[in-house]
Amino acid sequence: MNQEIFSKINRFKEEQKNRGRLLINCPDQPGIVAAVSKFLFDHNANIIESSQYSTNPVGGNFFIRIEFECPGLQAKKEELNRQFLEIAETFNMDWKLSLVSEVKKIAIFVSKELHCLRELLWEWQSGDLMTEIALVVSNHEDSREIIESLGIPFYYIPASKENRAEVESKQLQLLKEHEVDAIILARYMQILTPAFVAAHPFKIINIHHSFLPAFVGARPYDRAYQRGVKLIGATSHYVTNDLDEGPIIEQDTMRVDHRDQVEDLKKIGRSIERSVLARAVRWHLEDRIIVHGNKTIVF
């Protein structure tokens, strides 16, 4: 890894060593916030940020994200997890406690178009995307030079329908060896098998070059041009076994008109794709997303 970036990550870990995040999803009822707040107070934690949402105060679901400071948090993590179980069982919570200093590792999968990859690398180099890029996997050689110049391991694995099982076996082994927390499909133009998706549930983030649910699948800009759309967009979502139908994390659009040809739409779309994917990845890394059914709550 580039030494400057390595130093930035280490400084971040030191600065954030006492910062934690708590994500909670449970049936809504009185007393949830009071119980969680008291638990944090009893452990000398100070709440820095708190966001919550209820689908319906009567019979609905309740979601909350809390970020807090707690002296000696790294040493207390296991104790906090153990003691919080009583509250979690009382309110039937699906929950996760994470340490900000435990920077997540990601793998980036890419094919021939590199604009989304370049955006992620720029955000990473500038310190705005706090992560460790453990490896980049591609079915083309186009990105090798830029990746290896940054000291990131690059793996060229040609992929097709004919060798998909063999390819995914190699990829899954690499992800395990590098202890990857999330996989980013930065215009990786291969469909993943159900086995691959099942190995990393809601940890695979894709960018689709369309404002879903419009123009699912291949060649969306061509189909958008034929349809004469006045808006084009991009969608970042978690990958499921249903093509381009996983929980949506982020979307954006831009106006176009009859003067724009297919290549114009692609050029405009690339700009949208870059920013949409970068935001989705950042929110995932910052534990701002709770998946609920086929939707997301983003704090």
With contact defined as beta carbons under 8 Å apart, do 276 and 254 qualify?
no
Fold designation for 105-298: Rossmann fold (3.40.50)
Q: Report the Cα 206 to chain-centroid distance in Å.
A: 9
Average pLDDT over residues 193-213: 95
Average pLDDT over residues 122-148: 97
Q: Which residue has better confidence, 200 or 162?
A: 200
What is the per-residue pLDDT for 59? 87
User: For residue 251, is pLDDT > 90?
Assistant: yes
Tokens of 61: 């679901």
Q: For residues 183 and 239, what is the distance between their CA atoms, to the nearest angstrom?
A: 10
User: For residue 125, is pLDDT > 70?
Assistant: yes
Q: Report the Cα 240 to chain-centroid distance in Å.
A: 14
Helical H runs in 48-203?
73-90, 115-126, 144-148, 164-177, 194-199
Please give the CATH architecture assigned to the domain spanning 17-99: 2-Layer Sandwich (3.30)
pLDDT in tens, 11-23: 999 999 999 999 9
Domains of the chain, by residue range, sit at 17-99, 105-298
Q: For residues 238 and 201, what is the distance between their CA atoms, to the nearest angstrom?
A: 9
Q: Going by C-beta distance under 8 Å and a sequence separation of 6 or more, which residues neighbour residue 227? A: none
What is the per-residue pLDDT for 161? 81
Catalytically annotated residue among 244, 257, 264, 287: 244
User: For residue 190, is pLDDT > 80?
Assistant: yes
Strands 61-69 and 19-27: antiparallel
Residue 174's nearest CA partner among 133, 137, 121 is 137
Distances (CA, A) of 171 to 43, 108, 196, 218: 42, 11, 9, 23
- The verdict on whether 242 is a catalytic residue reads no
Q: For residues 113 and 209, what is the distance between their CA atoms, to the nearest angstrom?
A: 12
Look at residue 23 and give its three-state secondary structure.
strand
User: For residue 299, is pLDDT > 90?
Assistant: yes
Order of strands, sheet of 46-54, starting from the edge strand that comes earlier in the sequence: 46-54, 61-69, 19-27, 94-99
What is the per-residue pLDDT for 213? 85
